[in-house]
Structure 1
Amino acid sequence: MRSTLISESIAIGTGEELSRTAIEAALVATGADFETSVVQVRGEPVTVYRNAPSTLAEVFGRAASWGDTPALSYEGRTVTWSQYADVVGRVAGSLVGDLGVRPGDRVAVAMRNYPEWALAFAAATSVGAVAVPLNSWWNGEELAYVLADCGATVLFADGERARLVGAQRSGLPVLRTVVEVESEARSGDLAWHEVAAGPRADAGAPAAAIAPDDDATIMYTSGTTGQPKGVVATHRAHTTALMNILYQGALHAAVNRARSEPVRPVRSPSQALVGGPLFHISNLPKLYVAASRGHHLVFMRRWDARKAVALIDTLGLDGFAGVPTMVRQLLDEAEAAGTTLPTLRQIGTGGAPTPGNQIQRIGQQFARGVLASTGYGLTETTGAMVGIASSDFFERPDAAGRPFPVCQVRVVAADGSDAGPGEVGEAWLRGATLAKGYWNRPSDPFHNAQGWFATGDLVTVDDEGFLRIVDRIKDVVLRGGENVYCAEVEGLLATHPDVVDVAVFGIPHDILGEEVAAAVHVRLGSAVTSADLQRQVAQRAAAYKVPSAVVILTGPLPRNPTGKVLKSELRARLQADPALEEQL
């Protein structure tokens, strides 16, 4: 049977592609920064980066080497790397000496993007505890469910989350201590300043006891249906994710030079704006990338595009990444403010498919002068296993990229056979960033006997190894025996100049089984009609793909905290009132 590992099936054709292939080979060659080797992980051979840090403790242990340069900023308050190292050491000492935390104990974090979020996470993982980032948008019952599920003994929380958990405390007997941050009326057991003022831990002792394949985090999936599941990732998974990010930057900087691309040179250390929540896998890696390179991260209390533009311009920030909705809002506000964001060097988008028209707009608005990128991964893969950047990002707007050197992707057809180039199949992933499994769910299969994780995402791969996301399997509309891939129709609708955002989904139909429906957020003042948008699809797609129901919205689509559209909510509301027009 023909192999469908993308890393083994990349075509070498044009001179430009050969140049890219040569660059990739040089980056992973013996003695290079991203040299690879094979090790045994839980009894299976796994390709890893030879120069990757062993643990997150090792990564965060580098903080002091960056001295008095800025590390974390929030609302005018800045923590230097020297202060960072000191506070992390003191909090680690309190966790071990005062709160009785031992390796493997769960320590949860639930708060807005305060600097203390990053400091608590670093301290917990540095002493071998398992850090559990909690969704700060959950209510008290949701927070209590996850705290009970993971068996957290310590919780770092801001005032709002501390009060929510306090009301549920009687049902959380394992939770011994709530450490509260930034609150005037304390609800927790201890204040942050109390745990951050004790003696520093002996950094070497707890760090030395941590092994690369020890548990580092439990990150809960967004839970759009049913209860969220805790995804257990190891230190190796996170440090490999760190190396993947650094590899993508190095690869595309070299590709840019080879192609003489007019990209602004990337600064080191970088100063980046973090507008999304740290509890999400697309943002959490920023913490250990920053510690490994001395970057400066500027946190926002909540996302505000106008404030983001002001911060980038005022502080001279050079990096930003967010879900496509955030990127679009940033571009809108920059355009309205008449700024080109001249200091910006890198802009990343992910967490959801990026519309092609938005990719084109990034290229136009920055004259292709920024290192723009996206990637594909899940919480279960500890972030992206596939990435794309540089000119590839603009020239292949429907692609999510090619796999990183230590990541493998397989495309599997519905009958279990290998899908050929351009054929639709489910993405199976394997590699060092793959999580161990789901917490407290031994009967919930995570991967098959060969170590492949079935993503539930439909993809295609071309002859050059570029992966394109087609849709979620469960979101495919089966209309009269024909598969309609929602992402394809969404892409066609998104090309209309008045369309801001769009979601396509299936609704029940007595004869066809399912019919295609769309909810479209249009620009304020737009005169576009449902019929206009249906014609937009009909001009470029088969008739069965044209939505029979198109709901026009003048406000944003409903999304969960990680930016994913809540299609189930749209579907339910449209079914309840098929005559919905502006109200949805």
Structure 2
Amino acid sequence: MTPAVTGPSGTVTHRELADRVAAAARGLAPGVRFAVCEPDPLDTIVAVLAADRAGATAVVVDAAWSPAQRRRALSTSGVTGTAPSPSTSATPFWVGFTSGSAGTPRPIARTSASWTSSYPLVSERTGIRAGRTVGIPGPLASSLFLFGTLHALWAGAHVVAPGRWDPAAMDGLDAVHCVPTMLADLLDLPTPPPVAVCGGAALPTPVRDRARSRGVRIADYYGATELSFVAWGTPDGRLEPLPDVEVEVRSGEIWVRGPYLSLGYAADVDGPLRWDGAGFATVGDLGTLHDGTLRVLGRGDGTIMCGGTPVLPQDVEHVLLDLPSVRDAVVVGTPHDRLGAVVTAVIEPVAAPPTSPHPSLLASLRAATRERLAAPQRPRHWYVMPSLPRTGAGKVARTAVAEAVRTGTLAARRLR
């Protein structure tokens, strides 16, 4: 029998997986929206495929989140546990999450067709087909890894999903879905997968060159949870919009129209996704488009890309400003060799800042962020100063703070 999924609980064949999905689907009514929070990737796979089959919606929550984070996420996602209405062609089969205000992730809804319509193209670009083994080294709460899993199963491949970051489990496989920081580690394996489907952040040139030297073909792309695939990487490192995707750059902002777009947010939440009324959408990424080559310059909203995960500074600031010890705060990204960037917080405390390292202040800040923020959102570096620099209008001079942190000229004390 052909293996379908290998995970922490063992291996199931494609026939066994189909039987599990059919059994799970029989327990779902069309239109029901239910939560999925499973540490074993196989359980998540069964739930999502069953939702698609039954016309229901699987709301996939990261099992690594704290109970408080899960409660906040589910409070915005419309989980019902009952069937409110019949399924329609626009009924989402999946709701996933991106970072949100106050540490509450934003729910993104997506139809099955918005992914499945890209499957043939992805097979063509990656070579993933029946009989291949495909590594999924990240959590299925991430759309990047869930998409890779569902596409591989559609293609008849064998998915290896250990349920945790375990580079050794990827050794000798035929292909792997990953973000650049993972790829850097995978290239240290004795037999790295010969195909790396890489997204989530720009691929650093040194990593690309090292992959080439190890005989690993990079299949990289640009996209977003809200947009799915937008452009695919060429062998020489350029990005070209996909054939079915229209891309326009308006006032420096990348706008996209095509069959792979999500339905949008599944709740009334603030977020970077915007629509123009003509079917085009943007998440605020900046770029240029010349002679069919798309160049992505970054987020116009100051988003910090930490290991492939977008972190909005205002989301972290919102949590910090809720603390009684914090008068004001500004969050910026600082470069990191492996993750691309990490979160750095500069705090203006209510009380006079300590003249020496103050472990109790740092402990309280870390405790609050552990409780309310996902790991990529938590500041790695902390600074405290009597008063944050401000503009003439009284707003925090974010650009000046970011530059001072970058150059090491910030007149602040580092908390350790």
**TM-score (norm. length: structure 2):** 0.71
1:82 pairs with 2:12: no
Amino acid at match of 1:370: V
Q: Partner of 1:218 in structure 2?
A: 95
User: Displacement of 1:301 after TM fit?
Assistant: 2.8
More helix, by proportion:
1
CA contact (8 A) 2:41 2:140 kept: no
Superposition pairs of residues 86-485 of structure 1, within 5 angstroms: 86-93=19-26, 95=27, 101-154=28-81, 212-223=89-100, 227-249=104-126, 268-304=130-166, 308-309=167-168, 311-313=169-171, 316-331=172-187, 333-334=188-189, 339-341=190-192, 344-364=193-213, 366=214, 369-381=215-227, 383-389=228-234, 392=235, 395-396=236-237, 399=238, 401-413=239-251, 425-441=252-268, 446-463=274-291, 465-475=292-302
Instruction: Look at both structures and tell me which one has the larger radius of gyration over its CA atoms.
Output: 1
| Stretches of structure 2 lacking an aligned partner (at least 5 in a row) | 314-329, 339-368, 386-410
After superposition, the C-alpha distances for 1:244-286 in whole angstroms (9 at most, x for unaligned) are 4234336xxxxxxxxxxxxxxx764210111111111111112
Q: Partner of 1:578 in structure 2?
A: 412
After superposition, the C-alpha distances for 1:295-350 in whole angstroms (9 at most, x for unaligned) are 1011113103xxx23x344xx4111121111111222x42xxxx243xx2311221
Alpha-carbon distance in 1 for matches of 2:102, 2:240: 30
Alpha-carbon distance in 2 for matches of 1:224, 1:371: 38
Distance 1:323 1:442, change over 3 A: closer
User: Displacement of 1:118 after TM fit?
Assistant: 0.6
CA contact (8 A) 1:321 1:327 kept: no
User: Displacement of 1:102 after TM fit?
Assistant: 2.3
Secondary structure, aligned partner of 1:386: strand
1:569 pairs with 2:379: yes
After superposition, the C-alpha distances for 1:396-429 in whole angstroms (9 at most, x for unaligned) are 2xx4x2121211111111xxxxxxxxxxx11111
Alpha-carbon distance in 2 for matches of 1:153, 1:139: 21
User: Displacement of 1:443 after TM fit?
Assistant: 9.1
CA contact (8 A) 1:109 1:117 kept: yes
CA contact (8 A) 2:5 2:159 kept: yes
Identity between Structure 1 and Structure 2 (%): 27
Secondary structure, aligned partner of 1:569: coil
Q: Partner of 1:72 in structure 2?
A: 5
Distance 1:356 1:473, change over 3 A: same
Alpha-carbon distance in 2 for matches of 1:466, 1:565: 30
Secondary structure, aligned partner of 2:58: strand
Secondary structure, aligned partner of 1:432: coil
Amino acid at match of 1:87: R
CA contact (8 A) 1:352 1:564 kept: no
After superposition, the C-alpha distances for 1:512-540 in whole angstroms (9 at most, x for unaligned) are xx9x9844458xxxxxxxxxxxxxxxxxx
Amino acid at match of 1:388: G
| Stretches of structure 1 lacking an aligned partner (at least 5 in a row) | 1-67, 96-100, 155-173, 176-208, 251-265, 414-424, 477-485, 491-502, 506-513, 523-557
Amino acid at match of 2:218: A
Distance 1:237 1:472, change over 3 A: same
Alpha-carbon distance in 1 for matches of 2:267, 2:374: 27
After superposition, the C-alpha distances for 1:125-173 in whole angstroms (9 at most, x for unaligned) are 210001111122221122122223223244xxxxxxxxxxxxxxxxxxx
Comparing 287-296 and 209-218, the one that deviates more: 209-218
Alpha-carbon distance in 1 for matches of 2:131, 2:270: 45
Alpha-carbon distance in 2 for matches of 1:290, 1:267: 7
Amino acid at match of 1:351: G
Superposition pairs of residues 54-73 of structure 1, within 5 angstroms: 68-73=1-6
Alpha-carbon distance in 2 for matches of 1:140, 1:563: 12
Alpha-carbon distance in 2 for matches of 1:574, 1:521: 21
What is the alpha-carbon root mean square deviation over aligned residues? 3.7
